[in-house]
Amino acid sequence: MPKEGITPRAEDYSQWYLDIVRNADLADYAEVVRGCIVFKPTGYAIWEAIQRGLDERIKETGHVNAYFPLLIPKSFLMREAEHVEGFAPEVAEVTRGGGEELAEPYVVRPTSETIIGYFYAKWVRSWRDLPLLINQWANVMRWEMRTRPFLRTAEFLWQEGHTVHATEAEAERETLMILHDVYADFVEKEMALPVIRGLKTEKEKFPGALRSYCIEAMMQDGRALQAGTSHNLGQNFARAFDITFTDQHNTVQHAWTTSWGVSTRLIGALIMAHSDDEGLVVPPRLAPIQVVVVPIHKNDAERGPVMEAVARITASWKGRIRFKIDDRDNQTPGYKYNEWELKGVPVRVEVGPKDVEKGTVAVARRDIPGRAGKSFVAQEGLSERIEALLDEIQQGLYQRALRFQQEHTFAAATYDELKAGVERGFVRCYWDGSSDDEKRIQDETRATIRCIPLDQPGVAGSCIYTGRQTTQQVIFARAY
Amino acid sequence: MPKEGITPRAEDYSQWYLDIVRNADLADYAEVVRGCIVFKPTGYAIWEAIQRGLDERIKETGHVNAYFPLLIPKSFLMREAEHVEGFAPEVAEVTRGGGEELAEPYVVRPTSETIIGYFYAKWVRSWRDLPLLINQWANVMRWEMRTRPFLRTAEFLWQEGHTVHATEAEAERETLMILHDVYADFVEKEMALPVIRGLKTEKEKFPGALRSYCIEAMMQDGRALQAGTSHNLGQNFARAFDITFTDQHNTVQHAWTTSWGVSTRLIGALIMAHSDDEGLVVPPRLAPIQVVVVPIHKNDAERGPVMEAVARITASWKGRIRFKIDDRDNQTPGYKYNEWELKGVPVRVEVGPKDVEKGTVAVARRDIPGRAGKSFVAQEGLSERIEALLDEIQQGLYQRALRFQQEHTFAAATYDELKAGVERGFVRCYWDGSSDDEKRIQDETRATIRCIPLDQPGVAGSCIYTGRQTTQQVIFARAY
């Protein structure tokens, strides 16, 4: 039975998404600021959890954080030919400051390769300064025409890593390391979301990159969401900003740079991958609140023993389990159950007078709604049971998403099969076409090549569009 | 003996500050973006430590984080009369987006009372929605004419708390709780910096506030630095943005709001309060690296046993002590000592072949430079010794700063005494003058009333300027 205020997924997936965002209180439309949203506390707490998991991995792999200016001289964007084409049309421009017209306008950063490139050129002198491994957590702005909470907003939050290396091989190693050890590892282990790792085609790569890698996740409507990108920028930005170094043989060379980022889009991915018609579902490892405890009592006589039991049960949880005791007096248990289901808390523990008598509690799993996910459990050893259950839910969500992805990925040998496949999910097929061919397929099917997966069969087949023999397979899908 | 590249404090305090910033590699001038700096990794790591300590306290006192838009419709600033006067002259304006002129310009937030007020008006309906306790970590921009790294820059980073309450008393309680339990507690305990808690005068309060409270710290040149402010905004912004609620008697009322913030200025305060002519000094509780271990070996035969000892000594440190082993092969020990002194690491441990033989290490304290701060310590029980030492350094820095503050705070009974006192530090005196009197004193002495301290003697005296009897004492000082 779907909840009031939530359109069932099967009926209208797009409206379902907006209903989840509103009912779980994740965001508000900032109608007075074009294309922007407010990240409300429940939504922002998910971003904080994402930041923690990523920041830890970014630092463990040898990077440090820094902060570069929000504003970029507009002329900087123009220095890299592909980059200006990609970003200039969608920037916000600061033309006045302190009450006066500026001689040269600034743009609000849409991404920071250019401004960071300028500083790296000052900082990098010798091979001893390399590699330079810096990350930045920041807000960025792209003047989008069509917006959608978390998925596409004019202002969004992200991290952007920018590194400098002495050789192409090192830059490539960094680009792939970030893809595997930081992005895929985080999204699969913490967000419980299986991803396909791949290379972007020329048509889809980052403006100014030599090669762009990505991780692509499947949403519950079979569409793809790009969950992170990692770019080997070659020497393109090093040339544009003159990032050079003296090597061990005393020769001055242009450096090799990379950049990589994930954003608050991931909140959108989280919602669309795991949630159901009852509301948000958050994987335990990411959940700001993993367990909500609801005490149930009708009068003061019941209240004392129940609250005592709640205190005893949760006494050892601090530092082990992220929990909240919902002891609001002005709301019924039913109201509370509904609210925490909407907000996606993985486990609910109910403690009533009968539980106190019997030494039990009721435990409800958010990933299995209704009666099927509810059981009565002894208070003794509860902490361990809860910890095991959180782990089980985490693994269960991942396996469910993986199964869904596998069941909705179709091998296609003909263009007709491709057209049918992208109606329902991902299509994997041989590809040897051009960027123009890609464009034609996009116009006809609304599907794009999401990536050239890193794991390739190593067996030749015929291109779905040109019929030419090739060993290269790609993934086609409609995307967010 | 002062270090090369660092102007002694006694000679030119202002240049000394800039030399510390450059030599400790804390920031870079962003000459291409007016008034902005780059927060380099060493400087940003201090900000991350500040964020951790503050965020913990902000959450422990019941607040949650959220994120509001960077851009504010320009007309919003105009809604509160004092607010527009205070901020409109120094904003950056976005007038173009996506290649087109905007019908109404936006300003890049100089502070967010107005945009957040707009949303709070939507969210707050009933007394049940109150209090609303939200904090935001964000970048802000004020088009400053004269800039100075960390202390005054066009763009800076901060947290801004914004809360809504049902009554004036509750708003006042919140304002003071933040001042004491979040700001003063953090700055004194973590930054080892004693502060004076007080109320701003009408002339110095936040534009639009009913009352502004602050914490003021003394720098080593005797000048004041405002380290945090907490404002009771009364109903001013609630009226300007129509933040109303239905109370328990079903009457619609305007709410009471507060706002409070600290910024990357604190990095400047940290530098100016503790550092010396050898470089930066960071208190252990805040230090990103608390202990640096420098292995000393002249050849491969020495290297093995030394590195083994280093590994053994530090084996139990993970999770207890934040440390770094500086095993760079291309730098001498002397170079490393110098670098870590410049960067303010509280404790250095040196391990050489003789130490391996004797079962000792050399321990050098950053807060006591040179021979006096160096001692030889047994490897056995070293971890506990180091932990105790870090604590001792933390307390020592606080006590030293407190003594300095006390020795440079002067009671004044005449205007001449005030004039003499502000040359060397803070002046505490009776005050019953007007805002115009304050202005005249500022013009004549370059000193302002930093605050009306919360602890007052409760004994009358005569105002230093008007001669009138009053029980109110204030602190005058020159300020950053």
Q: State whether residue B133 sits within 8 Å of chain A by CB.
A: no
Average pLDDT of the segment spanning B461-480: 97
Contact B93 A92 (CB under 8 A): no
Q: In three state form, how does the secondary structure of A60-88 look?
A: HCCCEECECCCEEEHHHHCCCHHHHHHHH
> pLDDT by residue (tens digit) across B69-78?
999 999 999 8
pLDDT for position A82: 84
- Chain B, nearest residue to A288 by Cα: B64
- The fold of the B291-404 domain, in CATH, is Rossmann fold (3.40.50)
pLDDT for position B281: 98
Q: Which residues of A touch B39 (CB under 8 A)?
A: 66-68
H or E element: which one contains A137?
A: strand A132-141
For every residue of A398-452, DSSP letters joined together read HHHHHHHHHHTEEE-SSHHHHHHHTTTSEEEEE----HHHHHHHHHHHS-EEEEE
Nearest to B44 among A67, A90, A97 (CB): A67
Q: Which residues of A touch B69 (CB under 8 A)?
A: 30, 33, 36-38, 155
Contact A64 B73 (CB under 8 A): no
Give the confidence band of B83 by pLDDT, cuts at 50, 70, 90. confident
Report the SS3 class of residue A383: helix
Give the confidence band of B85 by pLDDT, cuts at 50, 70, 90. confident
> pLDDT by residue (tens digit) across B299-335?
999 999 999 999 999 999 999 999 999 999 889 999 9
Contact B38 A128 (CB under 8 A): no
As a whole number, the mean pLDDT across chain B is: 96
Rounded to whole angstroms, what are the CA distances from A398 to A292, A404, B2, B32, B252?
22, 10, 59, 47, 49
Q: Which of residues 356-395 of A touch B (CB under 8 A)?
A: none
pLDDT for position B110: 96
d(CA A341, CA A350): 13
Cis-peptide, bond into residue B131, ω within 30° of zero: yes
Residues of chain A with pLDDT under 50: none
Average pLDDT of the segment spanning B436-450: 98
**Long-range contacts of B54-63, Cβ-Cβ distance < 8 Å, separation of 24 or more:** B54/B159, B54/B182, B54/B186, B54/B262, B55/B137, B55/B159, B57/B181, B57/B182, B57/B185, B57/B186, B58/B135, B58/B159, B58/B161, B58/B182, B61/B177, B61/B178, B61/B181, B61/B182, B62/B133, B63/B133, B63/B134, B63/B135, B63/B161, B63/B163
Nearest to B41 among A32, A44, A66 (CB): A66
- The fold of the A409-477 domain, in CATH, is Translation Initiation Factor IF3 (3.30.110)
> pLDDT by residue (tens digit) across A290-306?
999 999 999 999 999 99
Q: State whether residue A95 sits within 8 Å of chain B by CB.
A: yes
Residue B48 has pLDDT above 70, yes or no: yes
- CA–chain centroid gap for A58, Å, is 15
Which residues, in sequence order, are bridge partners of residue B345? none
Min CA distance, A45 vs chain B (Å)? Answer: 7
d(CA A256, CA B183): 44
> pLDDT by residue (tens digit) across B216-236?
999 999 999 999 999 999 999
Nearest to B94 among A28, A66, A92 (CB): A92
Residue B283 has pLDDT above 70, yes or no: yes
CATH class, domain A291-389, is alpha beta
d(CA B109, CA A179): 34
- The fold of the A13-274 domain, in CATH, is BirA Bifunctional Protein; domain 2 (3.30.930)
CB under 8 Å to B372, separation ≥6 — which residues? none
pLDDT for position B84: 85
pLDDT for position B190: 98
Q: Which residues of B touch A64 (CB under 8 A)?
A: 41, 44-45
Domain boundary assignment for chain B: 13-274, 291-404, 409-477
Q: State whether residue A248 sits within 8 Å of chain B by CB.
A: no
Q: State whether residue A300 sits within 8 Å of chain B by CB.
A: no
Residue B1 has pLDDT above 80, yes or no: no
Residue B2 has pLDDT above 80, yes or no: no
